[in-house]
Amino acid sequence: MIGFLSRRVFESALILIGITFITFLLLFVLPADPVRQIAGRSATPEVIANIRHQLGLDLPFYQQYWRYFVNLLQGDFGRSYLQKSEVAELIKARLPASLLLMAAGIFAELLIGLAMGIISSLRRGGKTDNILMVVSFVGVSAPQFAVGILMLYFFAVKLAWFPIGGYGTWQHLVLPALTMGFMGAGWYSRMMRSSMLNVLEQDFIRTAKAKGLGKLKVIMRHAVPNAILPIIAMIGIDIGLFVSGMIVVESVFGWPGIGQLAWQAIQRVDIPIIMGVTLVAAFFIVIGNFIADVISIFVDPRIKLK
């Protein structure tokens, strides 16, 4: 276990370093100029050159990157160009809201997606199966901003079950979490369905039935745990999709998370914030994959730790 952990930590560190480099490079070659954003339209060339020099943006790429990287190792994410505060502070203030939304979104997508998948597989070829698969198709293909706006329209405006936007109570959380989870539920229901159909044909399911177990036990104790195995790995990857979804959903629902922060920063080429949010997101993807692997180990005794 310790060997496994140290290997994974080592790998994760490499991945994160790679991500800082690639993101930094992409922002460097981007035609947008942060200095113009800061200085405003009427600034003189001297002012612009001055700001550029102050921010170190006149240095060659490798020096800029090296400076950023060394600071990062000391826990310094840099200062926002425009918001006049530390990036770390900005992210710290907004992270809890995003984590809450992410957790609720993952919970929603798994609950809805797995339930839909299990039910369709048991009703294979029937009406229920067809209806659920149409719903899942909509989930996979509908853009999140449209889903979010429709949810707002029906459940907040028309029915007034939930608040229109904002942050604070559990009622605020429901619609954004459902919007976040809907797409994932579409994917998971399809994966769970095919995984279940595969497992239900396995010999050990027949053995379980031959023992005289009831249908519910056969499904919940023997079929579902086996069917979920390939899906656990997907949850780790899924967090990446979630982060991009967060930018949209937080904007639609006015959710004060890092998604909104990122969106504003992108519009204004506020490089330190973009870097910071990207890194945090990457960190969670890496953590998510790590957790998925650890869960797999606990669920599947065949995976041996070397």
Partner 1 sequence: MNQQVKPILDIKNLTTQVNTEFGAKTLIDNISLSLFPQETLCIAGESGSGKSVTALSVMGLLPPAARITNGALLLNGENLLTYNERQMQRIRGGDIAMIFQEPMTSLNPLMTIGSQLSEAISAHNSLFGSATKQRALELMDAVRLSEGKMRLKQYPHELSGGMRQRVMIAMALVSNPKVLIADEPTTALDVTVQAQILALMNELKADFGTSIILITHDMGVVAEMADRVAVMKDGKVIETSPVDQLFAAPKKQYTQTLLAAVPLLGQKKGQPVILPNAEQPPILSVKDLTVRYDIKGGLLQRATNRVHAVEKVSFNLFKGETFSLVGESGCGKSTIGKSIVNLTSWQGSINIDGQEINGLPTKQMNPIRQKIQLIFQDPGAALNPRMTVGDLVGEPLLIHKIASGSEVEDRVADLFTKVGLSPEMMTRHPHEFSGGQRQRICIARALCLNPKVIIADESLSALDVSVQKQVIELLQQLQDEMNLSYLFISHDMAVVEQISHRVAVMYLGQIVETGTRAQIFENPQHIYTKRLLNAVPIADPTKRHARTLIQNEEIPSPIHDLKYIPQINEYSEISKGHFVATYQN
Nearer to partner 1, 208 or 286 (CB): 208
Of 15, 38, 75, 20, which is closest to residue 265 (Cα–Cα)?
38
211 forms part of the interface with partner 1 (CB under 8 A): yes
Instruction: Report 261-300 residues binding partner 1 (CB under 8 A).
Output: 299-300
166 forms part of the interface with partner 1 (CB under 8 A): no
Site string for partner 1, 220-249 (x = CB under 8 A): -xx--xx--x--------------------
Nearer to partner 1, 122 or 241 (CB): 122
Nearer to partner 1, 143 or 225 (CB): 225
Distance in Å, CB of 18 to partner 1, minimum: 19
Residue whose entry in the numeric block shows the structure tokens 């399911």: 205
Distance, CA of 35 to CA of 113 (rounded, Å): 46
Q: Helices (DSSP H) in the chain: which residue ranges?
A: 2-29, 34-39, 45-55, 61-73, 87-122, 127-141, 144-151, 170-200, 203-210, 215-217, 224-253, 258-267, 271-299
Within 10 A of 96 (CB to CB), how many other CB atoms are there? 13
For partner 1, the binding residue among 204, 220, 244, 287 (CB under 8 A) is 204
Stretch near partner 1 under the rule CB under 8 A, chosen from 5-13, 79-87, 166-174, 285-293? 5-13
212 forms part of the interface with partner 1 (CB under 8 A): yes
Residue whose entry in the numeric block shows the structure tokens 């006049």: 84
From start to end of 57-111, where are the E strands? none
Of 91, 95, 51, 59, which is closest to residue 75 (Cα–Cα)?
91
Q: Rule CB under 8 A: which residues touch partner 1?
A: 3, 6-7, 10, 202-204, 206-215, 217, 221-222, 225-226, 229, 299-302, 306
